[in-house]
Amino acid sequence: MFSPLSMKHISIQALTDDLPSASVILAGLNSFSPDTRSYAEEALPKVPGQRFRECFAQAKARLDKIASQVGFSPPQTSGAVTPIAEEELEQANQWLGTAWETCSGFEETRRRQLEERRSIDQLETTLDNFRNLHIDLGQLQGDKQFLETRIGMVPRAQVNQLKDALGLDHFLLFPFMENDNESHVIIVGAGGSEISKLKSVLDTAGFRPLEIPPELHAEPETAQTRLMQRREAVEIAAEALDESINGWSADSRKELENAAHILHLAAPYVALGEAARHRGNLSRLQGWVPTEDLPLVEHALHDKLPNAFVLETRDPTADERPLVPSVMRHNKLLKPFSALVMQYGVPRYGEVNPTQLFALTYILMFGMMFGDVGHGAVILGTALLMHRKLGSFTAFGIAAGLSSILFGFLYGSIFGFEHILHAVWIAPLTDPLYMLTVALLLGIGFIILVTLLNIINHLSQGDRIGALFGDNGLLSLLLYAGLLGSGYSFYANGSVATFWATLAILTLIGIFAHKLIEQEASIGERILVAFIETFETITGYASNTLSFLRVAAFSLNHVALAIAVFTLANMMGDTGHWITVILGNVFILVLEGLIVAIQVLRLEFYEGFSRFYSGDGRAFKPLTL
């Protein structure tokens, strides 16, 4: 419960032909994570399914492209869960290849239609440009005996260079219109032997001749009408294309669903990667399974794998521990807290899983800092109303709201009104020093707890030295106790008690000595580093403890903000009063609520997790269907 589930390393020896079945069976259980470290390369030199994987990758890419083009979304897979043979996958891939060819044709037609639209746009603009010249545009095209003229488009960035280049062949270039990327140009020069050179350089420059269709030779109004007819034709063609795509999509839906289903079932075998190796007919597959799921895995394999197999299991070795994936199974209530913990990192295998502690302390501190029955009720109500959108985070909202309500009763506060409810415990502003003391004690308790967790973590990893002398080890804890005891005795009696002072000094010497020994550098550098790090240990504990004063500070702040709102409200008339009260409460709820949520997270991560939680574990990624 307080650490990731115990794991077993399993190795399955089976017939190579049974591997796809094994992958599907394991994927159905969600309990097997492939171990892709290389192993037994000499005895089992090959990774099976190379061709299968390539085929899968191609088929998957094809299906994705088709899906995005025709708007196909694979349905939730139902039906028989059976392994996919390579031939079956090949067939699906082949069909997808043909299907993609068709879709690619659709896409190319669409592109050409787009080009045609652009061309019509450009012709219309050209027509506008030449309208006042009263010349027959047709005269600009066609073969002439002495004069060569071309009209067309070139990339805008290249116009000057093309002009220079054409100048070398005694041609003139005149740009007459520009848009974002293209320039419309007229090229004029003497006909004859230079024409082949002109063609060559224009081809190189990507010159696109602007075909002036015969219809533009007519009167401008008639030409305009004909262009509109051409545009209409393109629109009709576009509609026809859409219909063809929809028709094809409807006709092919069954095959597409079948292909998607095949790929879905083929995915687990592909995901095995190098976790499976083989020589001839014999294969081996290795991975990690939670110990509690092992009987289930064993049973499923015995039940469904067609041929005999050998299953070997063992505990992870000490060297393997950093590689073992961590599995945490939480109930619905803890899921949102677990997601926040994962933002910091995945617990290392064997490390204490901080989710429960995090959930408890987060909710406690949130309530303390934002205690108000009304505000808590709003948070609770919002979480319940928006449960569909919030999903698993609804539980987070409910817990935060309830905690806020509870502390609201303890503080006697409802929507900032301090005199409606009687405070069960204390109204924060009546004794700020008391509140600060409570927060400080809470912080001390929290830091002691997380330091103890750090010691447990080190011991569970077999690191006794770290547990004793390391940062936040036993010695650091005793130093903390010594410093707290010394501080308290000085505060209470005016002098430092010998016991606490001796404890602090001895532990300080111990920590300094350990840091001196563990360094690998010259003696001068060692002393310097050990001194700085020891000093840092003391300042770290002091600053982290003082950080918890913010718990009290925010509870006071909440009341102070409410007072500010009411002061403003009292300066208004009746209507203005209530509007100010409502808006002020919204302001407190949104802004302060958000700040408190972030501040608590900061306390958890910075003051808490950084002391005991490495968060560098590997997430459990099981084969899934």
Partner 1 sequence: MSSNRDQAYLKTRVGVLSARLLSPQQIDRLKEMSLRQLGESFDLLPIFEEAIDNRQKSRLVEQALLHRLMHELSVLLRPLSGRSRGLMLYWPRKFELYNLKTLIRGKLNALGMEEIRDNLFDLPENIRLPHESLLQAENVLEMLRQLDQGPYALIARQARNVFEEQHENFSLDAAIDRLYYTGMLRHANITDSIDKRGLKKVIGVMVDRQNILWLLRYRLVYHFAPSEAYYLLIPYGGRIQRDSLMALANLDGLETIIDHLPAPFQEILADAKHITQVRQRLDQTVSSELRKLMHYSPDAVVSALSYLIIRDMDLMRLYAIIQGKLLKMDQAMLNEAVPSNAIGARLAEANDV
Q: CA separation (Å) from 250 to 71, 99, 101, 288?
A: 11, 13, 17, 43
Cα(280)–Cα(259) distance, integer angstroms: 29
By CB under 8 A, name the one of 77, 139, 200, 229 that touches partner 1.
200
By CB under 8 A, name the one of 68, 77, 129, 204 that touches partner 1.
204
For the chain, the farthest-separated pair of C-alpha atoms sits apart, in whole angstroms, at 116
> Looking at beta carbons only, is 161 or 570 nearer to partner 1?
161
Q: CA separation (Å) from 559 to 399, 415, 588?
A: 22, 10, 10
CB of 161 to partner 1, least distance (A): 6
| 205 touches partner 1 by CB under 8 A | yes
CB of 71 to partner 1, least distance (A): 18
CB of 209 to partner 1, least distance (A): 12
> Looking at beta carbons only, is 113 or 224 nearer to partner 1?
113
Q: Which region, judged by CB under 8 A, interacts with partner 1, from 105-113, 262-270, 427-435, 527-535?
A: 105-113
Q: Which region, judged by CB under 8 A, interacts with partner 1, from 142-150, 203-211, 301-309, 365-373?
A: 203-211
Which 33-92 residues touch partner 1, going by CB under 8 A? 58, 61-62, 65
Cα(303)–Cα(344) distance, integer angstroms: 41
Q: What is the DSSP letter of 36?
A: -
By CB under 8 A, name the one of 30, 37, 68, 108 that touches partner 1.
108
CB of 89 to partner 1, least distance (A): 17
Cα(270)–Cα(262) distance, integer angstroms: 12
Q: Which region, judged by CB under 8 A, interacts with partner 1, from 106-114, 222-230, 315-323, 552-560?
A: 106-114
By CB under 8 A, name the one of 37, 111, 144, 464 that touches partner 1.
111
What tokens appear for 431 in the block?
Answer: 């004794």
Which 145-184 residues touch partner 1, going by CB under 8 A? 155, 157-158, 160-162, 164-169, 181
Do residues 175 and 159 lie in contact, with contact meaning Cβ atoms separated by under 8 Å? Answer: yes
User: Are β-strands 618-619 and 208-209 bridged in parallel, bridged antiparallel, or unpaired?
Assistant: unpaired
> Looking at beta carbons only, is 149 or 614 nearer to partner 1?
149
CB of 155 to partner 1, least distance (A): 6
Radius of gyration of the chain from its Cα atoms, rounded to whole angstroms: 38
CB of 154 to partner 1, least distance (A): 10
CB of 200 to partner 1, least distance (A): 5
By CB under 8 A, name the one of 71, 75, 97, 209 that touches partner 1.
97
Give, in degrees to the nearest 5, the angle at Cα 162 between 158 and 166: 175
> Looking at beta carbons only, is 116 or 169 nearer to partner 1?
169
Backbone angles phi, psi at 527, to 5 degrees: -60, -45
By CB under 8 A, name the one of 85, 120, 201, 364 that touches partner 1.
201
Beta bridge partners of 282: 15, 279
Q: Residue 378: in which H helix or E strand, if any?
A: helix 373-385
| 489 touches partner 1 by CB under 8 A | no
Classified as helix, coil or strand, 124 is helix
Spatial neighbors of 431 by CB under 8 A, at least 6 apart, are: none
The position carrying tokens 């796809």 is 20
> Looking at beta carbons only, is 162 or 398 nearer to partner 1?
162
By CB under 8 A, name the one of 13, 91, 104, 313 that touches partner 1.
104
DSSP-H helix ranges across 272-334: 294-304
| HSE-CB of 358 using CA atoms within 13 angstroms | 29
Q: Which region, judged by CB under 8 A, interacts with partner 1, from 142-150, 194-202, 249-257, 421-429?
A: 194-202
CB of 604 to partner 1, least distance (A): 32
Cα(457)–Cα(479) distance, integer angstroms: 19
Q: What is the DSSP letter of 258?
A: H
CB 133: neighbour CB atoms within 10 A? 8
Q: Which region, judged by CB under 8 A, interacts with partner 1, from 27-35, 95-103, 125-133, 269-277?
A: 95-103
Of 132, 150, 130, the C-alpha closest to 140 is 150
Q: Which region, judged by CB under 8 A, interacts with partner 1, from 30-38, 99-107, 416-424, 456-464?
A: 99-107
Return the amino acid letter for 143.
D
What tokens appear for 102 in the block?
Answer: 């068709």
Q: Which region, judged by CB under 8 A, interacts with partner 1, from 34-42, 97-105, 211-219, 420-428?
A: 97-105
Site of interaction with partner 1 (CB under 8 A): 58, 61-62, 65, 97, 100-101, 104, 107-108, 111, 155, 157-158, 160-162, 164-169, 181, 197, 200-201, 203-206
